[in-house]
Chain A
Amino acid sequence: DQQVKQNSPSLSVQEGRISILNCDYTNSMFDYFLWYKKYPAEGPTFLISISSIKDKNEDGRFTVFLNKSAKHLSLHIVPSQPGDSAVYFCAASAYGGATNKLIFGTGTLLAVQP
């Protein structure tokens, strides 16, 4: 049972435009959500997180939106840069934030075209 789903395996956008990566979850006990970026041959790198008490969190070019009623979150990258090309993973946890076990989606490969 896939509790965290990233239904788009890949996404291609032009440099300077907005990238929107989506994530859906099924477990209503999830209360903390994180986005990680992963380059080949490297471990995942933390990007941004959001607690379920918020509906938006912003950090520079990255903004995460959370819609609890729809069990949906999205990551917006504005403006997109070629260096953003990587696999993006959505992760969720319950009762303990980032310390608790993380349930990951299958990832979305983002390609930013110059």
Chain B
Amino acid sequence: DAGVTQSPTHLIKTRGQQVTLRCSPKSGHDTVSWYQQALGQGPQFIFQYYEEEERQRGNFPDRFSGHQFPNYSSELNVNALLLGDSALYLCASSSPSPLNTEAFFGQGTRLTVV
């Protein structure tokens, strides 16, 4: 089981550009959540996708958008990048089972905006 995989691992973009980050959930998981972790902070919830729909959204501007594909993989898109978007972006997958006790995280994508 490959667990949650994210690509790329590192990325450098210029202010104003657009970026797409990718996530493949753990086998058997159909729910994908995205988090942003700034330096020295805990992860902050961006949004969650289930059945190809955005189910929940955190306090992030519309520049942050996402997509989930039929195979449950997901993309996070950020438009008009700002310097403040530099962070570690984490993807987490989970299942809707009532027995579900944890969300599994990928290794993250380190985005640097210059």
Contact = CB atoms under 8 A, between A and B. Distances in A.
Interface residues of B, number: 29
Contacts of B31: 99
Interface string B71-114: 00000000000000000001010111010111111111000000
Interface of A is mostly: mixed
Interface stretch (B13-21, B42-50, B62-70): B42-50
B103 A102 contact: yes
B101 A44 contact: no
Interface of B is mostly: loop
Contact of B42 (A42, A46, A106): A106
A98 B56 contact: no
A99 B94 contact: yes
B58 interface: yes
B40 interface: yes
Given A42-B107, A43-B105, A99 B44 contact: no
Nearest to A99: B94
A89 interface: yes
A76 B33 CA distance: 28
A45 B105 contact: yes
Most chain A CB within a 10 A radius of its CB, from B35, B43, B100, B105: B43
A101 B40 contact: no
A13 interface: no
13 contacts: A4-B42, A41-B107, A42-B107, A43-B4, A43-B106, A43-B108, A44-B90, A46-B102, A101-B58, A102-B43, A104-B35, A104-B43, A106-B42
Given A34-B102, A99-B100, 11 more contacts: A43-B4, A43-B90, A45-B105, A97-B98, A99-B31, A101-B33, A102-B33, A102-B35, A103-B45, A106-B41, A106-B42
